[in-house]
Amino acid sequence: MLERRQIVSEKIKQYARLVRVGLHIGEGLVLGAASGAIFFPHQPYQRPVIQFWQKRFCQVMGLDIAVHGSPDPRPALWVSNHVSWLDIPVIGSNFPVYFLSKAEVGNWPLIKHLAKAGGTLYIQRGSGDANGVAEQISSHLNAQRSVLFFPEGTTTDGKQLKRFFHKLFQAAVMTGADIQPVVICYRDENGELHNVAPFIGDDEFTSHLLDVLKEKHIGVELLVLPRVSVEGRNERTLAKDLQAMMADALLKLHHGEI
């Protein structure tokens, strides 16, 4: 009987948090419309509004975020390892960046409107349009806006990095913009790598959201690495160098060696 009551109590807490998430998404749509971000994104005055909403979203989701290091405030091409859809609000709540995301996100109910309000750029995986996307990113960099993309091209379990795709590093080569790497990891209440936070493969968004809401604790660590200058390197060399640098930093982050 006691176990059954505990299960019911946990379910009530889960769905109460789900209601809070729904209300916060509604607030985001209102803020997006009121600030004009849904209709005319990428305006400087919208950034504080976007970051405020993302920070509140992380709080509603129960994420305990720790940031190690501080980035140079100048615009840059940002890169990060990719573990979950949670990466976007976690990073976005702490740093003023726009995101490059897979085109499928643009079809997710409600989320597509929030993504548009947040100024998200899209890429169709396997479309062969990397050059066009690199030019789009370059236009934002030239307009003094920082853009972040995930060079692995997909999410992982967070334990190690996949091979970096080099083509989108072309934006840094085209503009001469520095690259700002960050690495991210999720931990459970025991300090181990979280096994629920990763959003992998064919995971379905709604079911993953419900699983995340069941969790008692999700700790997130963000490690800001030194900026990297293009220094005459091409996109292949940049991808190789950044992958090695970030893989080493991720290992140290996992082991608490920071």
Residue 10 has pLDDT above 80, yes or no: no
57: amino acid identity, one letter: F
Tell me what pLDDT residue 1 has: 61
Residue type, 192: E
CA distance 173 to 5: 59
Q: What residue type is assigned to position 243 of the chain?
A: Q
- The model's pLDDT over 31-44, given as tens digits with 9 standing for 90+, comes to 988 999 888 888 88
Task: Give me the domain span that covers residue 163.
Answer: 2-254
Q: How many domains does the chain have?
A: 1
Share of the chain above pLDDT 70, in %: 91
Binned at pLDDT 50, 70 and 90, residue 2 comes out as low
Selection from 60, 139, 63, 137 nearest residue 99 by Cα: 137
- pLDDT exceeds cutoff 80 at 124: no
* CATH code of the domain containing 96: 3.40.1130
The highest-confidence range among 31-35, 100-104, 171-175, by mean pLDDT, is 171-175
Task: Give yes or no for residue 122 having a pLDDT over 80.
Answer: no
pLDDT band per the 50, 70, 90 thresholds, residue 152: very high
Q: 64-88 pLDDT, tens per residue? A: 999 999 999 999 999 999 999 999 9
pLDDT number for residue 189: 93
Q: Which residue has better confidence, 101 or 37?
A: 37
Helix extents (H) in 95-222: 111-117, 130-142, 170-175, 205-214
Say whether 16 sits in a helix, a strand or coil: helix
User: For 191-207, b where at least 16 C-beta lie within 10 A, e where not — what string?
Assistant: eeebeebbbeeeeeeee
